Amino acid sequence: MPIRASRRPALRWAIPVVALSLITAGCGAGDTPSTEGVSGAIGSTSDINPKGVDELRDGGNLRLATTSFPANWNTLSTDGNDGEIADIERPLMPRAFDTNAAGELTVNHDYFTDVQLTNTSPQQVTYTINPKAVWSDGNPITWEDIASQAKALNGTDKRFLIAITVGFDRVEKVERGVDDRQAVITFRQPFTEWRGQFAGNMSLFPKSVTADPESFNKGLVDNMGPTAGPFLVQSTDRGQGRIVLGRNPNWWGAKPKLDTITYTVLDRNAWVGGLQNNELDAVLLSNLDDATTVRRSSGVVVRRAPGNRWRHITFNGAPGSILADPALRVAISKAIDRQGIATAVQNGLVEQPKPLNNHVFLEGQTGYQDNSLGFDPDAAARELDALGWKLNGDTREKDGRKLVIRDVMYNDDTWVQIARIIQQNLARIGVELTIDTKPGAGFFTDVIIPGDFDTAQFSYIGDAFPLSSIPQTYGYNPGDWQNNFGHIGSPELNALIDRTLSELDPKKAIELANEVDRKVFEEGHSLPLTQSEGNWGVRADIANFGSPGLASYDYTKIGFMK
């Protein structure tokens, strides 16, 4: 699931002194936040100030920020497949599993009394729904909601503008179990990550949303539909950029400690100022200046655990794009010093800054290994020469066309700083990079999905289900691009992806996933940069919220200490 602000993927680059000064300006000796005790890998820890609910006061409003109002509240759709929208909806929508900091799963009993793999030939999964679970419109959650979502996401009806199939393209049927509160999913083709179909970044929506293309694509454009969480949407004001979540009076689980959660639309560069001015209670920090400012402010703390978001560059390989040639994309990739980018962006924020070297697994997850092509600007220059891109002055040309690339990103200081470093990297080999910043509103709908870029920077979110999004992002399916925004891939990669997702042996699936990752690098599809530092600025009296790592929040337990 993509994100426009610096919340998901990561970048690497060389270490020009000018770039380092951009990151560390204003920080004198002794100002660098300590990284003592901070693990360098996901799946090891979380930092949320854990407290028992008896230590929290009842009530209160948790004030958070988002960069834009949701373009579509349906996160299963291409327009709504945005990590910020998903963050807003996490207290609202059902998921089958909870996750701890190590990525270990437990059934979320608020929604399901049991979720089990009940057969392997054919593969069958049985979901038994909590008999108390109801949508906010009063309708019970039933097997029909699961069946409707499975049908919408199976990819056969192209009128559904889906962002991801998450294995439903492998489902043969969904049937009623012992009663309306049980669904049995039968697969015609094995799916290794069946646990992620209603978990992680995926939630269950009511059948009123998924029943037909019109309701799926447009039904939640203006407002959220029925929800089923401890909170519901209490009010929205698009003009004021305000979303208020309130307690769900029909919630059957533990009573939330908070009264409300309020999201305010703010430019990313204003988040730390909002925290300082007591207008916000918690914000994601993106650079050393942010962390230093928070540490100098009273009443707030930096909470830090390795993050599950990673910055990256997506290349546009569509026909007619200047980067349509995969060999050209690969050559340019080799000229970008991702270690330098990591060092500059994360210096003082993590113990050992390093680039992310895998498209599938986060560092620290089982299966993570370095499959990258490496940093080699001399090889990049030779490959460009061989491709016919010859130096003419400072910039290469071929057939009268200059090698000028337009790099598009959300208007955020960190992204711009990264782009300037890449700009310097590429200038060394005769490639000109122009920096084109965009506002948060409409960033995916108007820019990324239509392919209005040569390269684009944004973030992805990783979770405990790393294989589920492989076909969504790296599969080559013309007319059904999902998250493959650069339209890059091959039948060979598709076949390898299919083998990976069909492998029910976890060890073999991981081996195949790494073969997929290496192939993605070799096609010049995209370039991972850095994994999120996972730093949050949070009011010191807020409990059970902060930097969770892979863990999922229990929104009933977030609150203010007595």
d(CA 234, CA 261): 10
Over residues 248-269, the pLDDT tens digits come to 999 999 999 999 999 999 998 8
Q: Which residues pair with 312 in a beta bridge?
A: 458, 528
Q: Which fold has domain 309-531?
A: Dipeptide-binding Protein; domain 3 (3.10.105)
Structure confidence at residue 2 as a pLDDT band (50, 70, 90): low
CATH superfamily placement of domain 83-219: Dipeptide-binding Protein; Domain 1 (3.90.76.10)
Note whether 269 and 412 are within 8 A (CB): yes
What pLDDT digit, counting tens, does each position of 140-166 carry? 999 999 999 999 999 999 999 998 889
What does the pLDDT look like over 186-207, one tens digit per residue?
999 999 999 999 998 889 999 9
Residues 6 or more apart whose Cβ sits within 8 Å of residue 265:
65, 66, 67, 68, 69, 241, 242, 440
Q: What is the mean pLDDT of the chain?
A: 90
Residues 6+ apart with CB under 8 A from 202: 76, 95, 164, 166, 196, 468
Q: Which pLDDT score, from 0 to 100, does residue 3 have?
A: 58
Per-residue pLDDT at 7 exceeds 90: no
Q: How would you classify residue 373: left for phi > 0, otherwise alpha for psi between -120 and 50, otherwise beta? A: alpha
Residue bearing the bigger pLDDT, 549 or 146:
146
| pLDDT of 232 over the 60 cut | yes
Residue type for 206, please?
Answer: P
Task: State the pLDDT confidence band at 373, using cuts at 50, 70 and 90.
Answer: very high
Residues 6+ apart with CB under 8 A from 336: 11, 12, 13, 313, 375, 422, 425, 426, 527
Q: Which class is domain 53-67+230-305+535-561?
A: alpha beta
Q: If you compute the radius of gyration of the chain from its CA atoms, what whole number of angstroms results?
A: 23
Q: Give the model's pLDDT for residue 468.
A: 86
Residue 438 in tokens: 């965009």
Is the Cα torsion angle 501, 82, 348, 33 positive or negative in sign? negative
Q: How confident is the model at residue 20 (pLDDT cuts 50, 70, 90)?
A: very low
Tokens describing residue 544: 């059970």
pTM for the predicted model, two decimal places: 0.80
Q: How far is CA 418 from CA 150, 285, 438, in A?
A: 40, 16, 15
Provide the percentage of residues in the chain whose pLDDT is more than 70: 92
Asked if 402 contacts 390 with a C-beta cutoff of 8 angstroms, the reply is: no
Q: Average of pLDDT values for 451-477?
A: 92
Question: Number of H helices and number of E strands within the chain?
Answer: 14, 24
User: What average pLDDT score do residues 304-322 get?
Assistant: 93
Better-predicted residue by pLDDT, 287 or 278: 278
For residues 358 and 192, give the distance between their C-alpha atoms in angstroms, rounded to a whole number.
20
- Cα 327 to Cα 75: distance, rounded to the nearest angstrom: 34
DSSP 258: -
Domains 53-67+230-305+535-561 and 309-531 share a fold: no
Half-sphere exposure of 559 (CA within 13 A, CB side): 20
| Span 470-494, pLDDT tens digits | 998 999 999 888 889 999 999 999 9
Nearest to 241 by CA among 273, 267, 278: 267
Rounded-to-integer distance, Cα 532 and Cα 5, Å:
11
Q: Which pLDDT score, from 0 to 100, does residue 280 have?
A: 98
Domain boundaries, the chain: 53-67+230-305+535-561, 83-219, 309-531
pLDDT for position 129: 98
| Torsion 395-399-400-405 (CA) sign | negative
